[in-house]
Amino acid sequence: MSRINISNALLPKYKDVVLAVDIIFVIKIPYLVIISQHIKFITMEMIKNQKQATLILALKQIISTNQKGGFKVKDVIADNQFECVQGALVDLGACLNIAAVDEHVPEVEQCVKTIKERVHSIYNSLTFKKMPTRLIAEIIYASVYWINSFPSESGRSRTLSPKPLVTGHRPGYHNHCKLEFGTYLQTHEVHNNSILPQTVGAVALRPTANSQGGYYFYSLGSGNIQQFPNVKN
């Protein structure tokens, strides 16, 4: 993955970021969805609950990610469920804008719709009869990863995707498009010189976003998510 420099004309104009935030449920598990209004960078994270401390921690992480990219979060648009984080956002230099009762935040609503379409597409292309909750979560993360990796039609750049705009890293075809989600393969496990199997079945998930072309895998033996730094075709 190559490191890029944000255009000097683009960064000052859109340095102040507005985030649209919502919570959705997938098989009864809450996910926090965040999209920046102009850059269209999406973050979607599984959260253990909807309590104040959990929401504040998740919002701090996305604000920190934007700051590392040279952006400053000025406003957060959300429904009244997020009133509990208003004080914490003020401390972070952001203002909370609560939508009216029964009013939706259009940016995040459209974002959720797009993610759901991608997730449905991947889910129905797989041949598994049953999937654990963690694997479904990985379908969501993979969908968001690839949405962020291509320029948005409503974004502020026709050539740069949201991911490099915020993180400074641009995905490359040769390193990050080696495996499709759900590809079955054998991965090496920690082993000794015994006659026991030295590999185990695994399912490819998504790139790790490193420069070596690593991937995340779901181990069919342990059910854990494993990371391999370099994957060769």
- List the domain boundaries for the chain: 2-170, 173-228
Give how far Cα 167 sits from Cα of 4, 7, 50, 96, 97, Å: 9, 13, 27, 24, 26
pTM of the predicted model as reported, rounded to 2 decimal places: 0.85
Please report, for residues 102, 104, 208, the alpha-carbon distance to residue 109 in angstroms, rounded to integers and kept in the order given.
13, 7, 27
Confidence of residue 1 (pLDDT cuts 50, 70, 90): very low
User: What is the Cα–Cα distance from 128 to 97, expressed in whole angstroms?
Assistant: 42
User: Which of 38-52, 96-110, 168-182 is modeled with the greatest confidence?
Assistant: 38-52
Q: Which of 42, 107, 47 is nearest to 79 (CA)?
A: 107
Average pLDDT over residues 166-191: 81
> For position 114, what pLDDT does the model report?
93
For 2-170, CATH gives 3.30.420.10
Confidence of residue 10 (pLDDT cuts 50, 70, 90): low
Those residues whose C-beta lies under 8 Å from the C-beta of residue 149, and which sit 6 or more positions away, are 161, 163, 171, 176
Distances (CA, A) of 51 to 35, 57, 82, 135: 21, 10, 10, 25
- The 10s digit of each residue's pLDDT in 39-84 is 899 999 999 999 999 999 999 999 998 888 788 899 999 988 899 9
**Residue 3 scores a pLDDT above 80:** no
Q: What is the mean pLDDT of residues 110-117?
A: 93
Check: CB of residue 77 under 8 Å from CB of residue 99: yes
CA distance 169 to 62: 16
User: Mean pLDDT over all residues of the chain?
Assistant: 85
